Chain A
Amino acid sequence: MTDATLNPVKSSPLANKRPSPSAAFNFVRFKKITEVGIKSIYSHGLRSLLTVLGIVIGVAAVIAMLAVSEGASYEAQQQFRDLGASNILVKSVKPAEVEESSRSGFGPPQAIVYGLTTADITTIRNSIPGISNVIASRIVKKNVWNGGLNINTDVVGTSVDYPVSRNYNLRAGRFFSESEVRDHGNVVVLSDEVAQALFPIDNPLGKTIRIDSDYYNIVGIMESEGFSNLGQNQAGSSNSAPSRIFIPFTSSKSRFGETTTRQTAGGVESETVELHEAIIQVEGQDGVIEVGEIIDQILQRRHKDIDYAIEVPLALLRQAEESALRDQIVAGAIAGISLLVGGIGIMNIMLASVTERTREIGIRRALGAKRRDIIMQFLIEAVILSGVGGLIGVVLGIAIPFIISAFWGMTTIVTPLAPILAFSISALIGVIFGIYPSIRAADMDPVEALRHE
């Protein structure tokens, strides 16, 4: 009995070596198993790639959709910031029917009359309480000259409150004053972009520019609106067009008149517009959307044609927020479905792999692998598979929004959270759908597994 003891062979190669005490989990083991997993996946390259396609598509779709919806809500927020939370923008829009009739007519062209009038603004001011200010503007496209240099730009005739109402700051100089407005002064404030185009070297302040035959003193330069280049802004192109200059409202009216004529392919086209846009400032944000609706009702009553457009930034923001939420729900659903499909794909391939490698499982069990070693091996393999799929998906998901931005001009924003979240979920999918095949592998009878051909 007592003689049945283990007698180690002398000069054993393991004589001075000891296994590490916690053999259950250590880094070396983990690394080895991972290496084996990668080898096994690599040896079935195409099959592995097809397997993870579901995960790839799922992850890429989620990141891309979130980027698009994030971009849309960013655009709305930009507009919101641009226009101000308590503002309502009313713009003149050439009605479709008028355009038709003027084209078919003979003889000297009739000036088309449309758009907002000072009377509209007075009515709005008088009938709606809570309007603190109205900044009406005329916008005329003109060639602006500095000696030989010229630029075709929007000349905005407006009042002194314009920069404040738009959160739009001066870079240098000042905006024109009340008295200059009263006196129909020949003063101008340039946007940064126009200043750079006309005065590439010297300081424009104190110098003059020419519009038609009149010279205007440059009194100020606005800050650059760099963000407006970011996304293609459809709704308010005139708001965010960087190329524009500002002169007093009165000067615009007296120098340019209310009728503008321009050369078209069919001849000459004239239009008479008193006001091109008006910013209506409301006291506090609470009533903005309602005031916008009332303005619409007033203008509907006063105008025969729909020759105006009303923009309520707050309403736009709400809309954008709603659609962003909807997009996120759709993205979530797509993600859920593709990841489920991807997970089933992984389970399928892992089951095939377990069957194929029955013999290997038997060998490993014979050489001392415990059940949990086998589970670990196949689980890690499943996680590597889904992780690689997730990684490819992340790369695609980041690339797709770039392509969307490049080709369709939409603003897209990839937040760092989206790829991280999508990748973590894909790894989790590997664990969830890898468990069953791994347990099946571990539960094999070693004798049977070794006999497997």
Chain B
Amino acid sequence: MLETESSPRPDSDAGVISGQELVASLDDIRKTYYMGALSVEVLHGISLDFYQGDYISIMGPSGCGKSTLMNILGCLDQPTEGKYFLGDQDTSKMEDDELSSIRGARLGFIFQSYNLIQQLNVLENIEMPLFYQGYSAADSHEVAMGLAARVGLEDRVDHKPFELSGGQQQRVAIARALAVDPLIILADEPTGNLDSKSGAEILNLFDELHDQGKTLIMVTHSDELAERSQRWVRLRDGLVESDDRRNT
């Protein structure tokens, strides 16, 4: 239970779709970077609610605070002020170890440059988050094999990343992000390094995940990419400029 808040959280700008569960919530998030005597506030108070099954694009010009927001959403960085609830947990006051745990258990990361570990093969890369969660080797293997099949790489499980095309590597990364069955999948320019055909394949996979009820948050510059999502959050100068939802 949350001990600090007694009043209800402020409602999100976007309309709440009934029957959907809140998976993450940002409450007046501020982030200040200190460089010696100089301090720069990058995020000036961002409040957003994310619901189960949301497919969100976070957009905005460079320097708007997208990356910072993404790092906070990914529990890689802590807000200077404000609260970030992931599921029912307030992450803003967590210790380093707790943050590691919550990243490993509740978040899936997809990076622009895939970020696979080169010494490990496809299967081992997919297994890695499970390994840090303490799953048995047999369970990890079973889950990872299933996921490799799900992204169409069941016949490549013992290949090293450098033996795969960019699109295949990104599919490994998606499988890895799905391994722990995260609350939210965070994707940072997931097609930025891919040709349009491979990019389209990745986006089709995202559509599938969305159809299966996964929650996806994607940072992108590309309008074409953003077109596929259901909700668009535009940032400008560290503030939410707009938050629109596709009307279905």
Q: Which residues of A contact B (CB under 8 A)?
A: 1, 3-10, 12-14, 17-23, 26, 28-29, 32, 36, 39-40, 43, 359-360, 362-373, 446-447, 450
- The listed residue (B2, B5, B135) touching A20 by CB distance below 8 A is B135
Check B5 against A368 for contact (C-beta < 8 Å): no
Nearest-Cβ distance from residue A45 to partner chain B, whole angstroms? 13
Q: Which residues of A contact B213 (CB under 8 A)?
A: 9-10
| Contact residues of B between 1 and 39, Cβ < 8 Å to A | 2, 5, 8-9, 21-23, 25
Check B22 against A3 for contact (C-beta < 8 Å): yes
Q: Which residues of B contact A364 (CB under 8 A)?
A: 117, 128, 132
Q: Which residues of B contact A28 (CB under 8 A)?
A: 131, 136-137
Check B135 against A17 for contact (C-beta < 8 Å): yes
> 16 A–B contact pairs at CB < 8 A?
A3-B22, A5-B21, A7-B21, A17-B135, A22-B134, A28-B136, A32-B137, A360-B117, A364-B128, A367-B176, A368-B101, A368-B105, A368-B129, A369-B104, A370-B97, A447-B71
Q: Report the nearest A residue to B68, measured CB to CB.
A: A447
| Contact residues of B between 93 and 135, Cβ < 8 Å to A | 96-97, 100-101, 103-106, 109, 111, 115-117, 119-120, 128-129, 131-135
Check B76 against A366 for contact (C-beta < 8 Å): yes
Most buried by A among B2, B100, B142, B146: B100
Check A14 against B8 for contact (C-beta < 8 Å): no
Check A1 against B5 for contact (C-beta < 8 Å): yes
Q: Which residues of B contact A32 (CB under 8 A)?
A: 131, 137
Check A367 against B104 for contact (C-beta < 8 Å): yes
- The listed residue (A4, A17, A362, A370) touching B143 by CB distance below 8 A is A17
Q: Report the nearest B residue to A11, measured CB to CB.
A: B212
Nearest-Cβ distance from residue B207 to partner chain A, whole angstroms? 16
Nearest-Cβ distance from residue A361 to partner chain B, whole angstroms? 10
Most buried by A among B106, B146, B180: B180
- The listed residue (A26, A39, A371) touching B96 by CB distance below 8 A is A371
- The listed residue (B21, B88, B146) touching A13 by CB distance below 8 A is B146
Q: Report the nearest B residue to A362, measured CB to CB.
A: B115
Q: Which residues of B contact A (CB under 8 A)?
A: 2, 5, 8-9, 21-23, 25, 52, 71, 74, 76-77, 85, 87-88, 96-97, 100-101, 103-106, 109, 111, 115-117, 119-120, 128-129, 131-137, 139, 142-143, 146-147, 176, 178-181, 183, 212-214
Q: Which residues of B contact A7 (CB under 8 A)?
A: 21, 23, 52
Check B143 against A13 for contact (C-beta < 8 Å): yes
Nearest-Cβ distance from residue A51 to partner chain B, whole angstroms? 18
Check A36 against B120 for contact (C-beta < 8 Å): yes
- The listed residue (A1, A9, A370) touching B100 by CB distance below 8 A is A370
Q: Which residues of B contact A1 (CB under 8 A)?
A: 2, 5, 8-9
Check B87 against A366 for contact (C-beta < 8 Å): no
Q: Report the nearest A residue to B135, measured CB to CB.
A: A19
- The listed residue (B22, B132, B178, B181) touching A368 by CB distance below 8 A is B132
Nearest-Cβ distance from residue A362 to partner chain B, whole angstroms? 8
Check A6 against B88 for contact (C-beta < 8 Å): yes
Nearest-Cβ distance from residue A18 to partner chain B, whole angstroms? 8
Known A1-B8, A1-B9, A447-B76: A368·B135 in contact at CB below 8 Å = no
Check B87 against A20 for contact (C-beta < 8 Å): no
Q: Which residues of A contact B134 (CB under 8 A)?
A: 19-23, 26, 29
Q: How far does the alpha carbon of A156 sit from the alpha carbon of B136 in the complex, in Å? A: 78
Q: Report the nearest A residue to B109, measured CB to CB.
A: A366
Check B22 against A4 for contact (C-beta < 8 Å): yes
Check A450 against B100 for contact (C-beta < 8 Å): no
Q: How far does the alpha carbon of A21 sit from the alpha carbon of B134 in the complex, in Å? A: 8
Q: Which residues of A contact B136 (CB under 8 A)?
A: 17, 20, 28
Q: Which residues of A contact B76 (CB under 8 A)?
A: 365-366, 446-447, 450
Check A5 against B132 for contact (C-beta < 8 Å): no
Q: How far does the alpha carbon of A363 sit from the alpha carbon of B142 in the complex, in Å? A: 22
Q: Which residues of B contact A23 (CB under 8 A)?
A: 132-134
Most buried by B among A28, A368, A370, A447: A368
User: Beyond A8-B181, A9-B213, A366-B115: 6 further Cβ-contacts under 8 Å?
Assistant: A9-B181, A14-B143, A20-B136, A29-B134, A368-B103, A373-B100
Q: Report the nearest A residue to B150, measured CB to CB.
A: A13
Q: Which residues of A contact B5 (CB under 8 A)?
A: 1
Q: Report the nearest B residue to A22, measured CB to CB.
A: B134
Q: Which residues of A contact B143 (CB under 8 A)?
A: 13-14, 17
Most buried by A among B2, B117, B120, B213: B117
Q: How far does the alpha carbon of A18 sit from the alpha carbon of B181 in the complex, in Å? A: 12
Q: How far does the alpha carbon of A363 sit from the alpha carbon of B104 in the complex, in Å? A: 11
Check A368 against B23 for contact (C-beta < 8 Å): no
Nearest-Cβ distance from residue B233 to partner chain A, whole angstroms? 19
- The listed residue (B23, B103, B180, B183) touching A14 by CB distance below 8 A is B180
Check A359 against B88 for contact (C-beta < 8 Å): no
Check A368 against B52 for contact (C-beta < 8 Å): no
Q: How far does the alpha carbon of A21 sit from the alpha carbon of B133 in the complex, in Å? A: 10
Q: Which residues of B contact A370 (CB under 8 A)?
A: 96-97, 100-101, 132
Check B129 against A6 for contact (C-beta < 8 Å): no
